[in-house]
Amino acid sequence: MKGIVYWGLLILCFPTMLFAQEKVDAPVWNIGDKWIFSNKGAIEVVIADQNRYVLRFSEDICIIESQKFNAIVFDKSTFHRIYGLKGDTRKKYTNQLRKMFDFPLSPGKQWKDDEIYQTPLVSPFSMLGDSAYYEIFEVLGWEDVEVQAGKFRAIKVEVSRGKPPDRLWGKSLYWYSPEAKYFVKCQYDPNIEDVIEEIVSWELSSFKVKK
């Protein structure tokens, strides 16, 4: 009888256990956490307080990720990018990837940056210069991915970009690893005009994070 009850409870709990494994909660970043990428760019956590994370981007990091800012301020509750820092100057972040993080992440989840915004002419995509556009995010599922930093179980996120009302012009893929606490790979659509593949597509080459 006890065995029957045990298996019955296990069957009832299995979907919940499976969902817990599939869902990815927000990481805890710590000062000194650092990620180095194949294009020799690096990102490092330099401030982690009650309300924000500040991540410093090296000059070599992909221009799409840094938007030419020396550092980016992330809201600690949403992980949205709220300010860009260039030296002592702080500017409201209105560029792409503003809502790249939307934890928890789980297969099938979708969200959109509904606020149409302007981007400065800092990308290799000529069509992006001083132009309003939108971003749609979708979690495609889990994949095993191998990069220079090793092998990771990562959740794959697709980013679709376009101009209103419905002019889709390109997509990119990101693989987020709970172990690395950041993206371990980025792949831009090679069919997009003016894409400089070695600049915008990258992978993690090494990292150091506190557990």
Token duo for residue 20? 């817990």
pLDDT tens for the chain, 211 residues long, are 555 544 444 344 433 333 345 899 999 999 999 999 987 789 999 999 999 999 999 877 777 788 788 999 999 999 999 999 988 899 999 888 999 999 999 999 999 997 766 555 444 444 445 567 789 999 999 999 999 999 999 999 999 988 777 777 788 999 999 999 999 999 987 665 555 555 578 999 999 999 8
- pLDDT of 194 reads 53
Phi, psi of 207 (to 5 degrees): -160, 160
pLDDT in tens, 90-139: 999 988 899 999 999 999 999 999 776 655 544 444 444 556 778 999 99
- pLDDT of 10 reads 39
- Find out whether the peptide bond into 178 is cis, omega within 30 degrees of 0: no
Spatial separation of the C-alpha atoms in residues 123 and 146, rounded to whole Å: 27
Q: Cα 58 from chain centroid?
A: 17
**DSSP letter assigned to residue 126:** G
**Partners of 138 in the β-ladder:** 110, 158
- pLDDT of 183 reads 97
- pLDDT of 88 reads 85
Ramachandran quadrant class, 148 (left: phi over 0; alpha: psi -120 to 50; beta: rest) = alpha
CB atoms inside a 10 Å sphere around CB 45: 21
Among candidates 106, 107, 102, which has minimal Cα distance to 136?
A: 102
- Neighbouring residues of 210: CB distance < 8 A, sequence distance ≥ 6: 30, 32, 33
Domains defined along the chain, listed by start: 28-208 (2.40.360)
- pLDDT of 116 reads 60
Quote the pTM value: 0.82
Question: Residue with structure tokens 């002019």?
Answer: 167
Among candidates 110, 116, 79, which has minimal Cα distance to 94?
A: 116
